[in-house]
Structures are given as structure tokens and as C-alpha cells.
Amino acid sequence: MGNKGEALKQRIVTAADNLFYLHGYDNTSFSDIADAVGISRGNFYYHFKCKDEILNAVIDTRVASYRAMLRDWDKSITDPRLRLYFYIDMQLRNQDNILSHGCPIGSLCTELAKVSDSSLHDANKMLAVFRDWLITQLKLLGVKKNAKQISMHLLARGQGIATVTNAFADKKFLQLEVKGLKQWLDDEILKSIH
């Protein structure tokens, strides 16, 4: 419960978060995390009782951090439509990372779906944060019936862009698709609010 211990725990989670993104969950060892943080391997087990617990901490931390980010957007951007653009442009801002490592959320979901008990974690919580926020923004714009469907579609488009951009290492493709996605959204909003 001491301050120093809590701070270290957070540093472990932050380092694990980053390494899980760069190399995947399974390919990240305690040694890797320990080296990144600058502590010894044995120290982990004071803060976490197994590797799965670090995974869950990473997921929870990400969920909290995404929520905080979206709250910031809500504060700094008043027009919901501009918020949606800003969401879509996130891939443009992160294009270099996506090119090399894909989407941090999607790639983790994809990996964890293959491993062990899916009951021990729920990586899709991270996607759900964005889905729910998107629904809210669309409803603010007057979209009533299709808000959820459009939101899911936006998630999927983002995932597809990330996967293909990463697989082909094609940054131009990402840029083109992001542009097209914003146009699609405009059309869709127009149609949905008649």
C-alpha cells in the first residue's frame, strides 16, 4: 500500500503494456519486462501472483486510459461530428506504430482469442469503450436507429485498415482508407438523420 510500491506496480504495468503491443503477450517474458523497468524477476510476484494478472492489469489500465482520453476529447472538441473525425484520424496520427505493430487493441484481441481460457480476461472491453463512445456521439448528432450498427462498422473498418496496413506495410493505403472512411461517415450520418 506504500506509495513507492504502488508507483512501481504502475511502472510494471506500463512497461508490460508497451511490450505486449510491440511483441505480443506470449512473446513478452518477465525478463523482458524486468529489464525494461529495471528490477529483478522475483520482484514481480510481490505485485502480481501470475502473468495472467499482469495481463488483466494491462487491459484495465488501457480501458481507464482510453476512457480518460475520450473524456478529454469531449472537453476540447464541442462538435460531435468533429469528435468522430478526430477518432478516425487517430489512425493517421498513429500510422507509424500501426505500420510496424498493428492496432494495439485488435492485435491483442486476436492473440488472446487463440490462447487458453478466454474467461480469464476480456480484451474486447477495450473495443467496447470506443464502441459506446461512438454510439453516444452519433446519438448527439441525431442518429437514432443505427447508432450501434454504425459504431460497430467504424470499429471494424479501423481494424481492417490496421491489419492490412500492417501486413503489407503500406502507409499510403492507411491514408487513403482513413479519408474514405470519413466520407462514408458523412454520407451515413446524412442518411440516418434524413
Q: Work out how close the CB of 111 gets to a copy of itself at its nearest, in angstroms, rounded to a whole number.
A: 6
Give pairs for 58-62: CB < 8 Å, separation 24+. 58/13, 58/16, 58/17, 58/20, 59/108, 59/121, 59/122, 59/123, 59/125, 59/126, 61/10, 61/13, 61/14, 61/17, 62/17, 62/104, 62/105, 62/126
Of 28 and 91, nearer to DNA (C-beta) is 28
**Of these, 10, 23, 40, 100, which contacts DNA (CB under 7 A)?**
40
CB of 50 to DNA, least distance (A): 4
Contact between 111 and a copy of itself by CB under 8 A: the answer reads yes
Q: Count the site residues for a copy of itself by CB under 8 A.
A: 39
- Kindly give, in sequence order, each residue whose CB lies less than 8 Å from that of residue 89, ignoring residues fewer than 6 positions away: 178, 182
Which amino acid type is present at position 164? V
Task: Output the smallest distance, CB 27 to a copy of itself, in A.
Answer: 6
Q: Residue 39 or residue 99: which is nearer to DNA going by CB?
A: 39
Q: Is 179 in the site for a copy of itself (CB under 8 A)?
A: no
Interacting partner of 32 out of a copy of itself, DNA, none (Cβ under 5 to 8 A depending on kind): DNA
